[in-house]
Structure 1
Amino acid sequence: MSEIPSLSELLSWLALLLGGAIAISTVIRKIGMPPVLGFILLGIAVGPYGFGFITNLELIDLFAELGIVILLFVLGLEFSFEKLRSIGSTMLIVGLIEQSIMFLLGFTIGTLIGWGVLESLYLAGVLAISSTAIILKLLHDAGILHTREASTIIGTLIVEDIAAVLILVILGDIAQGGETLDIINIGIIVAQTLAFFIITLVIGLKVVPKIINYIDRTDIDEAPFLTALALGFGLAFLANYLGLSVAIGAFLMGMMISSAPKSEAITHKVLPLRDFFGTIFFISIGMLIDITIFPEHILTAIPLVIIAVIGKFVGNYIGATIVGHDRAGASTIGSMMVPRGEFSFIIAKQGIDLGVARAALLPLTMIVSLVTMIIVPLILRILPTIMDARTIFPSKAFAPLEFVGSLFRNLIFSQRVENNQMKKILPKVFANIAIIVTILAMLSILEEFLLILYDMFYALQIIPYDIFKLIIILAMIAYPIFNIFGKAGEVTESIFEGFQTRVVSTRMITGSTNHLHRIIRNIVTATVVLLVSSFIIPSISVATDIELLLPISSIISLSIFVYLFIDTFFVIHKRLEKGIISSLFSDEKEEDGSEGI
Structure 2
Amino acid sequence: MHGIFFDVLILMSVAIVMVWLFKRINLPPILAYLVCGILAGHDILALFEHPEEVQLFAELGIVFLLFSLGLEFSLPKMIAMRHMVFGVGLGQMVLTTGFFMLVALLCGLTLSTAFVIGTMVALSSTAIVIKQISELGILNTRRSQMAVSVLLFQDLAVVPILILIPLLANPSEQSMALMIAMALLKGTIVVAILMSVGKWLLPRLFSEIAQTRTDELFVLTTIFVALLAAGLTFWFGLSMALGAFLAGMMLGESQYRHQLEADIRPFRDILMGLFFITIGMRLDLSVMIAQLHWILLGAALLMPIKAFIIRASAWLFKGDPQDAWASGIKLCQIGEFSFVIAALAVNNALISQNQASLFISVGLLSMALTPLLVNRSLVFAQKLVTSPISDDIAHSIEFEQGKYADHVLIFGFGRVGQSVSRLLKKEAISFLAVDADPVRVQEARSAGEPVTFGDVSQKDILRAVGVEQAKLVLLTFDEPARAVNVVELVSSLNPDVPIVVRTRKVHHLEALYMAGASQVVPEILEGSLMLASQVLHLSGVPMSRILKRVRIERKGHYRHMQGIFPGESTEINYETHDRLELMHAVSVTHQANANGKTISDLNLSKMRVSVKGLRRNNVEIAEPDDNTVVMAGDVLVIAGKPRRVERAERYLLFGNEV
What residue number does 2:382 align with?
Answer: 386
Q: What is the rounded CA distance, in whole Å, between the counterparts of 1:165 and 1:73 in structure 2? A: 13
Q: Secondary structure at the match of 2:215?
A: coil
- 1:361 equivalent to 2:351? Answer no
Farther off after superposition, 60-69 or 28-37: 28-37
Residue-pair matches, total: 380
* Residue type of the alignment partner of 2:186: Q
Is residue 125–residue 167 contact of structure 1 (8 Å, CA) maintained in 2? Answer: no
Is residue 312–residue 334 contact of structure 1 (8 Å, CA) maintained in 2? Answer: yes
Query: Deviation of residue 281 (structure 1)?
Result: 1.6
Give the one of 149, 163, 167 matched to 2:157.
Answer: 167
Give the one of 250, 262, 277 matched to 2:244.
Answer: 250
Farther off after superposition, 10-19 or 118-127: 118-127
- 1:276 equivalent to 2:273? Answer no
Which residues in structure 2 correspond to 1:92-111 (within 5 Å)?
93-111=87-105
Q: What is the rounded CA distance, in whole Å, between the counterparts of 1:130 and 1:269 in structure 2? A: 27
Q: What is the rounded CA distance, in whole Å, between the counterparts of 1:175 and 1:388 in structure 2? A: 38
- 1:12 equivalent to 2:6? Answer yes
Is residue 70–residue 244 contact of structure 2 (8 Å, CA) maintained in 1? Answer: yes
Alpha-carbon deviations, 1:520-576, whole Å to 9, x = none? Answer: xxxxxxxxxxxxxxxxxxxxxxxxxxxxxxxxxxxxxxxxxxxxxxxxxxxxxxxxx
Is residue 125–residue 333 contact of structure 2 (8 Å, CA) maintained in 1? Answer: yes
Query: Deviation of residue 324 (structure 1)?
Result: 6.2
* Residue type of the alignment partner of 2:251: I
Give the 3 Å change call, closer, same or farther, for CA 174–70 of structure 1 in structure 2: farther
Q: What is the rounded CA distance, in whole Å, between the counterparts of 1:331 and 1:309 in structure 2? A: 12
Between Structure 1 and Structure 2, the one with more strand by share is 2
Give the 3 Å change call, closer, same or farther, for CA 194–106 of structure 1 in structure 2: farther
Alpha-carbon deviations, 1:390-437, whole Å to 9, x = none? Answer: 99xxxxxxxxxxxxxxxxxxxxxxxxxxxxxxxxxxxxxxxxxxxxxx
Alpha-carbon deviations, 1:184-205, whole Å to 9, x = none? Answer: 3223322322232223323442
Alpha-carbon deviations, 1:471-502, whole Å to 9, x = none? Answer: xxxxxxxxxxxxxxxxxxxxxxxxxxxxxxxx
Query: Deviation of residue 270 (structure 1)?
Result: 0.9
Farther off after superposition, 365-374 or 319-328: 319-328
Which residues in structure 2 correspond to 1:285-296 (within 5 Å)?
285-294=279-288
Q: What is the rounded CA distance, in whole Å, between the counterparts of 1:144 and 1:387 in structure 2? A: 22
Give the one of 225, 230, 234 matched to 2:228.
Answer: 234
Q: What is the rounded CA distance, in whole Å, between the counterparts of 2:382 and 2:137 in structure 1? A: 9
Is residue 109–residue 304 contact of structure 1 (8 Å, CA) maintained in 2? Answer: no
Give the 3 Å change call, closer, same or farther, for CA 362–230 of structure 1 in structure 2: farther
Aligned identity (percent) is 24
Give the 3 Å change call, closer, same or farther, for CA 36–366 of structure 1 in structure 2: farther
What residue number does 2:217 align with?
Answer: 223
Give the 3 Å change call, closer, same or farther, for CA 252–193 of structure 1 in structure 2: same
Give the one of 320, 331, 338 matched to 2:332.
Answer: 338
Give the 3 Å change call, closer, same or farther, for CA 210–108 of structure 1 in structure 2: farther
Q: TM-score, normalised by structure 1?
A: 0.53
| Unaligned ranges ≥5, structure 2 | 388-658
Q: Secondary structure at the match of 2:360?
A: helix
Query: Deviation of residue 53 (structure 1)?
Result: 3.4
Give the one of 46, 65, 77 matched to 2:59.
Answer: 65
Q: What is the rounded CA distance, in whole Å, between the counterparts of 1:345 and 1:320 in structure 2? A: 26
Is residue 76–residue 252 contact of structure 1 (8 Å, CA) maintained in 2? Answer: yes
Cα RMSD over matched residues?
4.3
Q: Secondary structure at the match of 1:364?
A: helix
* Residue type of the alignment partner of 1:215: I
Bigger RCO of structures 1 and 2 (CA < 8 A, at least 6 apart): 1
Q: What is the rounded CA distance, in whole Å, between the counterparts of 1:103 and 1:80 in structure 2? A: 30
- 1:370 equivalent to 2:365? Answer yes
Which residues in structure 2 correspond to 1:556-567 (within 5 Å)?
none
What residue number does 1:440 align with?
Answer: none
Give the 3 Å change call, closer, same or farther, for CA 113–61 of structure 1 in structure 2: farther
Q: What is the rounded CA distance, in whole Å, between the counterparts of 1:350 and 1:258 in structure 2? A: 34
Is residue 296–residue 362 contact of structure 2 (8 Å, CA) maintained in 1? Answer: no
What residue number does 1:45 align with?
Answer: 39
Query: Deviation of residue 291 (structure 1)?
Result: 1.4
Is residue 283–residue 357 contact of structure 2 (8 Å, CA) maintained in 1? Answer: yes
* Residue type of the alignment partner of 1:55: E
Q: Secondary structure at the match of 2:382?
A: coil
What residue number does 1:83 align with?
Answer: 77
Is residue 76–residue 253 contact of structure 1 (8 Å, CA) maintained in 2? Answer: yes
Give the 3 Å change call, closer, same or farther, for CA 348–323 of structure 1 in structure 2: same
* Residue type of the alignment partner of 2:263: K
Query: Deviation of residue 166 (structure 1)?
Result: 0.9
Is residue 222–residue 264 contact of structure 2 (8 Å, CA) maintained in 1? Answer: no
Query: Deviation of residue 154 (structure 1)?
Result: 0.6
Give the 3 Å change call, closer, same or farther, for CA 297–237 of structure 1 in structure 2: same
Query: Deviation of residue 278 (structure 1)?
Result: 1.4
Alpha-carbon deviations, 1:90-139, whole Å to 9, x = none? Answer: 68644443333213224444555566666655543432234467668988
Q: What is the rounded CA distance, in whole Å, between the counterparts of 2:220 and 2:125 in structure 1? A: 30
What residue number does 1:435 align with?
Answer: none
* Residue type of the alignment partner of 2:365: L
Alpha-carbon deviations, 1:148-186, whole Å to 9, x = none? Answer: xx9442122211221232133333345688855733322
Q: What is the rounded CA distance, in whole Å, between the counterparts of 1:248 and 1:330 in structure 2? A: 25
- 1:210 equivalent to 2:204? Answer yes
Query: Deviation of residue 284 (structure 1)?
Result: 1.6
What residue number does 2:259 align with?
Answer: 265
What residue number does 2:183 align with?
Answer: 189
* Residue type of the alignment partner of 2:70: G
Is residue 62–residue 127 contact of structure 2 (8 Å, CA) maintained in 1? Answer: no
Structure of greater Rg: 2
Q: What is the rounded CA distance, in whole Å, between the counterparts of 2:4 and 2:350 in structure 1? A: 31
Which residues in structure 2 correspond to 1:388-427 (within 5 Å)?
none
Give the 3 Å change call, closer, same or farther, for CA 330–238 of structure 1 in structure 2: closer
Give the 3 Å change call, closer, same or farther, for CA 283–358 of structure 1 in structure 2: farther
| Unaligned ranges ≥5, structure 1 | 1-5, 392-597
What residue number does 2:145 align with?
Answer: 155
Query: Deviation of residue 273 (structure 1)?
Result: 0.8
Query: Deviation of residue 25 (structure 1)?
Result: 3.2
Q: What is the rounded CA distance, in whole Å, between the counterparts of 2:284 and 2:178 in structure 1? A: 38
- 1:74 equivalent to 2:74? Answer no
Give the 3 Å change call, closer, same or farther, for CA 277–380 of structure 1 in structure 2: closer
Is residue 348–residue 362 contact of structure 1 (8 Å, CA) maintained in 2? Answer: no
Which residues in structure 2 correspond to 1:347-496 (within 5 Å)?
348=342, 359=353, 360-361=355-356, 363-371=358-366, 374=369, 385-386=381-382
Q: Secondary structure at the match of 1:386?
A: helix
Give the 3 Å change call, closer, same or farther, for CA 169–377 of structure 1 in structure 2: closer
* Residue type of the alignment partner of 1:154: S
Q: TM-score, normalised by structure 2?
A: 0.48
Between Structure 1 and Structure 2, the one with more helix by share is 1
What residue number does 1:410 align with?
Answer: none
